[in-house]
Structure 1
Amino acid sequence: MSNKLQVRLAVRGMTCTDCEEHVKKALHSAGAEKISVNFRRGEATFEISDASGIEAAKRAVADSGYEPSNAEILHPLRSDSTFHRTSGDDYDLLIIGSGGAAFSAAIEAVSRGAKVGMIERGTIGGTCVNTGCVPSKTMLRASEIHHLAAQHPFPGLETSAGPVNLHQLVGAKDELVAELRQHKYIDLIDEYGFDLIRGEARFADPSTIAVAGRMIRAGRYLVATGASPAVPDIPGLADVDYLVSTAALELTEVPQRLAVIGSGYIGMELGQMFHRLGSEVTLMQRSGRLLRAYEPEVSEAVSLALAFEGIHILTGVTYERVEQHGDLKRIYITVDGQQRVVEADALLVATGRTPNTAALNLEAAQVRVGSRGEVLVNEYLQTSNPNVYAAGDVTLGPQFVYVAAYEGAIAAENALSGERRKVDLSVVPAVTFTSPSIATVGMTEARARSKGYEVITSVLPLDAVPRALVNHDTAGVIKLVADGRSRKLLGVHVVADNAGDVIYAGVLAVKFGLTIEDLTSTLAPYLTMAEGLKLAALTFDRDVAKLSCCAG
């Protein structure tokens, strides 16, 4: 085994593969070996003879025009393998769950030569493909088409929308889900050659799992069991036939009236979907406004858009009790000190998610959990049991499949290699697929101020964006948050058609520290929604309403 230090060095200022080569050359000149540089991660890993060599490497990188920062000494890797296989273990890595985090971890582990097992008690593929992203987004698209056919903003076009055959729509959705589950999950099991074990996993002790009558031991474990819809403690709710998101997507008839408890992204998406398919929808929210953690301008724009469509929005709600009379549901609430009753034919509960940990017997594994049952992990995704890692929704981090997949790969790498790669969730985009859609990345204005930044902001209404004007759809806003000293972008917040596609440019701007001038000096294609980012950047210093249509 090598006695040299293995180092990970954060490097700012890299923007392309040429930058990688420049940094690699600089590190080589300082005596570094086995150099790997990744401009996307903003880091370089290498071996160096001793601690003094790290400072020499930093100076070489700085002399080449880049900004070295934190240097982390990694645990040395074995020369013969990236993991240590203990005699008698059935697997090098045993994964509980089969969703995005689990499959990402399995693929990473197999690529390192590890023997991998995966335990699944139910349907393979996890939430996203089966009951979350895929089924909801295809149904949202169907509802959007139905809505536009019934009413659109273009004079001279005669379109109409007939009755909705929800049974047929759900059937097509189920076919799509089955196809993607097969191709993106089930087929990969044989492709990568790991074992699938059916059954309920339960820790028997810190190093053994009981499943399907077997006792299985592994060198490392990954808990990637995801989360399920949470149900609030409201008197009478347990005695009512309520829906959660999973069941709502299986309905075969459109309810005449739908009430939604909770107005986060799930409640808003499914509420608007059913409204556009023909339901009278009431959204109810405990907080004083929708999207209370978002920018006020975002909250206002979304609330106005949903209300304009005819969706009833109640905020500042206190839930007193719920009753059912035949098929009729009655929700007794208090709003602004006034008692009200909301009646509905269907009741959707969309109040967040709870981690799937109850059946795992984590206490026997010496794995600590939080107040909501979430698995507690450190910045390397390691639990209180050093041989057990956790990734994805079960940790109650950002509830996105791309975050779960990212974490799954890091957890497998750390578990098997002895490295200590930190999870970086400082720049995570979030998208809500309402219409207009909502996309955000980075800090809000309030968050930036609390972090001590001298904040400047730009707020651009969508009627200043040419693409929105030609679409005859100006509901929305773009808000940029920047550091007044460096003028670097700290946050990007968009409410607009296709905001989810626009936000990736915002992700790059925030992650790589682009300035207002970086955006304003870049050519943006005219008549795209992405042009709105440049116009919003121009708005920091000028009135874009006084520019010609494409002068931005």
Structure 2
Amino acid sequence: MTRSFDAIIVGAGQAGPSLAGRLVAAGQKVALIERDRIGGTCVNTGCTPTKALVASAYAAHLARRAGDYGIGTGVVTVDFAAVIARAQAIASASRGRNETWLAGLDGLTVLHGDAKLTGPTSVAVNGETLEAPRIFLNVGGRPNRAPMPGLDQVETLTNIEMLKLETVPEHLVVIGGSYIGLEFAQMFRRFGSQVTIVEMAPRLIAREDPAISQTIRAMLEAEGISVRTDATCIAFTPRDGGIGVQVDCREGAPEVIGSHVLMATGRRPNTDGLGLDAAGVETDERGHIIVDDTLATTVPGIWALGDCNGRGAFTHTAYNDYEIVAANLLDGDHRRLSQRIPGYALYTDPPLGRVGLTEAQARETGRPLLIATRPMTRVARAIEKGETVGLMKIVADAETRRILGAAILGVGGDEAIHGVLDLMSADQPLDALRWAVPIHPTVAELIPTLLVDLKPA
């Protein structure tokens, strides 16, 4: 059996449903195929439930610190079952809203099943063949379990299984000191777990500037989290009542025994088994679908959006992929990936908001630089809230007077960074922001002050 459509979308993550909505609004007949749950990683196992957990962990942490603010609370306890139920309820409600919206779109057929390309214009699903002149791949990614000795002898968890736990781990060992690992490490420490982070690199989140990495490590250690870097020979051994994690570090015990192990060692694209060869779609060495500046693949009529193209691993970049494709195909625009200013956040407490280049990356360009930093201990809003961990930093081009990058590690940093991101997106000189009159007391009010403090470096 063969059915014909104007467009086929494989994957109902962040880009797929939005694109389906635009296409059917333009009068097209569209098939949307999803093998799991509507909403993809973000809604079901990523941003939505994990940030709900972060919020619960923050509430517990703040309650324990209530005395710092002159408030008495008594003994603080964590009802972990209620914490998980809250996160799952929020994710379920978000997914339900998406499902209801999609069900009401005229011209859209939603199919649940494993999709496989059988040619440049055809997709097989549930025993039938769908044909369309345009195919959009939005298949996302999944946790990557990096091969390590003994891994097949022990039971480990990914971020997905962490959301299904029924009790707080006695001792959680987190393999991987990057964004996902750090968020889970801090939240479970605040829920009551003993936590150890094991990272192969010399420092946490090695892509960030050293000052950021060092500050984050210090704040985690201040909460009682053990951090083991330079762990170059990670291996696993079953132990009575737990899992032995062997590490080769410069100092500390050679083995850490945990009750649970979280593998936070990156993600991989869901492109295997998709039948890309049958359509002639090319991938890189990591399995990401190769796309050009407009998100077109190596096969005319096929586009790849979201995590599977390796051009951004965030919900907001996936959504922007949809915006680029829709603008070009439906609005007669000429949007490009290269126009996107990269920005993201790390949702530890305090959060890290980041945009553009780090100082190290900026120096590699050979441009003359202007740099300014300010500790959060000199930010009135942070002092008033009793949350002074962190720093603010801006790197600019001395000749063009364009901001190249910025970092705000501190209370409200994930929100305040948008003032810089918006200026960079508008391609305006830093002087355009210098004379803004921000609201006091906020974290963002210090951005113009930082610009005044820029010095050659």
**TM superposition score normalised by structure 2:** 0.95
Task: Tell me what 2:180 maps to.
Answer: 266
Task: Tell me what 1:438 maps to.
Answer: 352
Task: Tell me what 2:65 maps to.
Answer: 151
- Report the residue type matching 1:481 in the other structure: V
Per the TM alignment, residue 192 of structure 1 is displaced from its structure 2 partner at its CA by: 5.0
- Report the residue type matching 1:403 in the other structure: T
2:405 aligns with one of 491, 516, 527 = 491
Task: Tell me what 2:142 maps to.
Answer: 228
Task: Tell me what 1:183 maps to.
Answer: 97
Seen in structure 2, the aligned counterparts of structure 1 residues 161 and 398 have a Cα distance that, compared at 3 Å, is farther
Task: Tell me what 1:100 maps to.
Answer: 14
1:396 aligns with one of 302, 310, 318 = 310
Task: Indicate the structure (1 or 2) with the bigger Cα radius of gyration.
Answer: 1
Task: Tell me what 2:205 maps to.
Answer: 291
Per the TM alignment, residue 467 of structure 1 is displaced from its structure 2 partner at its CA by: 0.9
Pair 1:449-2:363 in alignment: yes
Per the TM alignment, residue 271 of structure 1 is displaced from its structure 2 partner at its CA by: 0.7
Per the TM alignment, residue 414 of structure 1 is displaced from its structure 2 partner at its CA by: 4.4
RMSD value, Cα: 2.0
Would the aligned equivalents of 2:139 and 2:271 in 1 still touch at CA under 8 Å?
A: yes
Give the match's secondary structure for 2:57. Answer: helix
Would the aligned equivalents of 2:63 and 2:76 in 1 still touch at CA under 8 Å?
A: no
User: What CA distance in whole angstroms lies between the structure 2 residues aligned with 1:192 and 1:534?
Assistant: 49
- Report the residue type matching 1:315 in the other structure: T
User: What CA distance in whole angstroms lies between the structure 2 residues aligned with 1:524 and 1:417?
Assistant: 35
User: What CA distance in whole angstroms lies between the structure 1 residues aligned with 2:55 and 2:455?
Assistant: 38
Seen in structure 2, the aligned counterparts of structure 1 residues 187 and 327 have a Cα distance that, compared at 3 Å, is farther
Give the match's secondary structure for 1:289. Answer: coil
Per the TM alignment, residue 387 of structure 1 is displaced from its structure 2 partner at its CA by: 1.7
Per the TM alignment, residue 513 of structure 1 is displaced from its structure 2 partner at its CA by: 3.4
Task: Tell me what 2:24 maps to.
Answer: 110
1:378 aligns with one of 292, 313, 316 = 292
User: What CA distance in whole angstroms lies between the structure 2 residues aligned with 1:400 and 1:185?
Assistant: 21
User: What CA distance in whole angstroms lies between the structure 2 residues aligned with 1:174 and 1:240?
Assistant: 27
Pair 1:257-2:178 in alignment: no
Task: Tell me what 1:6 maps to.
Answer: none
Per the TM alignment, residue 392 of structure 1 is displaced from its structure 2 partner at its CA by: 0.1
Would the aligned equivalents of 2:27 and 2:107 in 1 still touch at CA under 8 Å?
A: no
Task: Tell me what 2:112 maps to.
Answer: 198
Would the aligned equivalents of 1:219 and 1:387 in 2 still touch at CA under 8 Å?
A: yes
Aligned residues: 455
Residues 28-427 of structure 1 aligned to structure 2 (within 5 Å): 90-152=4-66, 154=68, 156-191=70-105, 193-336=107-250, 340-414=254-328, 421-424=335-338, 426-427=340-341
Per the TM alignment, residue 365 of structure 1 is displaced from its structure 2 partner at its CA by: 1.0
Per the TM alignment, residue 160 of structure 1 is displaced from its structure 2 partner at its CA by: 3.4
User: What CA distance in whole angstroms lies between the structure 1 residues aligned with 2:166 and 2:405?
Assistant: 41
Q: Share of identical aligned residues, percent?
A: 31
Pair 1:524-2:450 in alignment: no
Would the aligned equivalents of 2:370 and 2:455 in 1 still touch at CA under 8 Å?
A: no
Q: Bigger CA drift: 482-491 or 304-313?
A: 482-491
User: What CA distance in whole angstroms lies between the structure 1 residues aligned with 2:106 and 2:200?
Assistant: 46
Seen in structure 2, the aligned counterparts of structure 1 residues 216 and 344 have a Cα distance that, compared at 3 Å, is same
Seen in structure 2, the aligned counterparts of structure 1 residues 419 and 367 have a Cα distance that, compared at 3 Å, is farther
Seen in structure 2, the aligned counterparts of structure 1 residues 415 and 521 have a Cα distance that, compared at 3 Å, is closer
Would the aligned equivalents of 2:141 and 2:267 in 1 still touch at CA under 8 Å?
A: yes
For residues 67-106 of structure 1, what are the alpha-carbon distances to aligned partners after superposition, in whole Å with 9 as ceiling and x for unaligned? xxxxxxxxxxxxxxxxxxxxx9711110101110111211
User: What CA distance in whole angstroms lies between the structure 2 residues aligned with 1:296 and 1:263?
Assistant: 14
Would the aligned equivalents of 2:173 and 2:260 in 1 still touch at CA under 8 Å?
A: yes
Q: Unmatched 5+ residue regions in structure 2?
A: none
User: What CA distance in whole angstroms lies between the structure 2 residues aligned with 1:339 and 1:310?
Assistant: 17
Q: Unmatched 5+ residue regions in structure 1?
A: 1-87, 543-552
User: What CA distance in whole angstroms lies between the structure 2 residues aligned with 1:265 and 1:234?
Assistant: 20
Residues 5-20 of structure 1 aligned to structure 2 (within 5 Å): none
Per the TM alignment, residue 419 of structure 1 is displaced from its structure 2 partner at its CA by: 6.7
Give the match's secondary structure for 1:191. Answer: coil
Per the TM alignment, residue 491 of structure 1 is displaced from its structure 2 partner at its CA by: 1.1
Seen in structure 2, the aligned counterparts of structure 1 residues 164 and 371 have a Cα distance that, compared at 3 Å, is same
Seen in structure 2, the aligned counterparts of structure 1 residues 125 and 156 have a Cα distance that, compared at 3 Å, is closer
Seen in structure 2, the aligned counterparts of structure 1 residues 161 and 497 have a Cα distance that, compared at 3 Å, is farther
Per the TM alignment, residue 541 of structure 1 is displaced from its structure 2 partner at its CA by: 6.2
Give the match's secondary structure for 2:89. Answer: helix
- Report the residue type matching 2:371 in the other structure: T
Q: Bigger CA drift: 192-201 or 270-279?
A: 192-201
For residues 43-86 of structure 1, what are the alpha-carbon distances to aligned partners after superposition, in whole Å with 9 as ceiling and x for unaligned? xxxxxxxxxxxxxxxxxxxxxxxxxxxxxxxxxxxxxxxxxxxx
